[in-house]
Amino acid sequence: MENKKKGFNLRSIIPLATAIVALVFIVVGLKDYGFWNKNQPTPGFFPIIIAVVLLASSIACFIQIARDKDSEDVKYNRNELMVMLGAAGIILCTFLIGLVPSCLIYIFLWLKFVEHAPWKVILIIEVIMAAIILGVFTAWLQIRFPVGLLGDLIF
């Protein structure tokens, strides 16, 4: 997933995104919340000023990146995407089987198939995590974690 320096530079995405965010805040602010009314600042006053500064600095940053030919390209790693997909998987599975089982299944799958950890290690980590989630969060902090569709059907 290495980005090439030909054409559009991937490093420019951040200033572009922040410039878009700034524009949205300026337009919505001016349209819905105003800037100044009867010698007093309105709710839009502060965010609009900040958004204008953000827009200007984003443009400056974009130009800086476009001119900079010497710095190394940002390298993305497939494994980083796997961590994100893993967390996204837990969130999606929570709606089906609940948060606690999703976390424990994720830990098992990650350790077994990504890290190829021995069974003993997997078992120890599963027990520790179950103790932390159920002991600290559920029993001590009294957090009621979502049980998902399956939990709703069973209970």
Partner 1 sequence: MENFVSLLNGFQVALAPENIGVCLLGAVLGLVVGAMPGIGSLAGCALLLPLTYKFNPTTAIIMLGALYYSNMYGGSFSAILLNIPGDSPAITTALDGYPMARKGRPGQALMAANVASFLGGTIGILILTLTASGLATLGLKFGYAEMTLILLIAMTSISWLIGENPIKGIVITMLGILVASIGMDTLSGAPRYEFGNMYLLGGIPFTPFIIGCVGFAQVIKLINEREADEKKRSSEDSKTKLSIRESMLTAHDFKRILPPIIRSGVMGTFVGVLPGSGATTGSMVGYAMQKKFKSEEPMGTGAIEGIAASEAANNAAAAGAFAPLLALGIPGSGTGAVLLGGLMMWGLNPGPLLFDSNPEFCWGLISSMYMANIFTLAVAILVIPFLIKILSVPVKYMIPIITCVCIVGAYSTSNSMYGVIVMFISGIVGYLLDKNGFPTAPMLLAFVLAPMLEKNMRKAFIASQGSLRIFVDSPLKLVLLAVFLVLVLTPVVKSIRRKLRAKKAQA
Per-residue x/- marks for partner 1, 90-109, CB under 8 A?
A: xx--xx---x---x--xx--
- What is the DSSP track for the chain? -PPPSSSS-GGGHHHHHHHHHHHHHHHHIIIII-SEETTEE-TTHHHHHHHHHHHHHHHHHHHHHHH--SSPPP---HHHHHHHHHHHHHHHHHHHH-HHHHHHHHHHHIIIIIS---HHHHHHHHHHHHIIIIIIIIIIS------HHHHHHH-
Q: Please give the Cα distance from 37 to 94 (Å, whole number).
A: 48
Judged by beta carbon, residue 6 or residue 75, the one nearer partner 1 is 75
Shortest CB 77 distance to partner 1, Å? 6
Closest CB 6 distance from partner 1, rounded Å: 19
Footprint on residues 74-93 left by partner 1 (CB under 8 A): 74, 76-77, 79-80, 82-84, 86-88, 90-91
Q: Half-sphere exposure of 47 toward its Cβ, with a 13 Å CA cutoff?
A: 17
Site string for partner 1, 22-41 (x = CB under 8 A): x--x--xx---x--x--xxx
R_g of the chain, CA atoms, integer Å = 24
Among 97, 117, 147, 150, binds partner 1 (CB under 8 A): 117
Q: Which residues bind partner 1 (CB under 8 A)?
A: 11, 13-15, 18, 21-22, 25, 28-29, 33, 36, 39-41, 43-47, 50-51, 53-54, 57-58, 60-61, 64, 74, 76-77, 79-80, 82-84, 86-88, 90-91, 94-95, 99, 103, 106-107, 110-111, 115, 117, 121, 125, 128-129, 132-133, 136-137, 140-141, 143-146
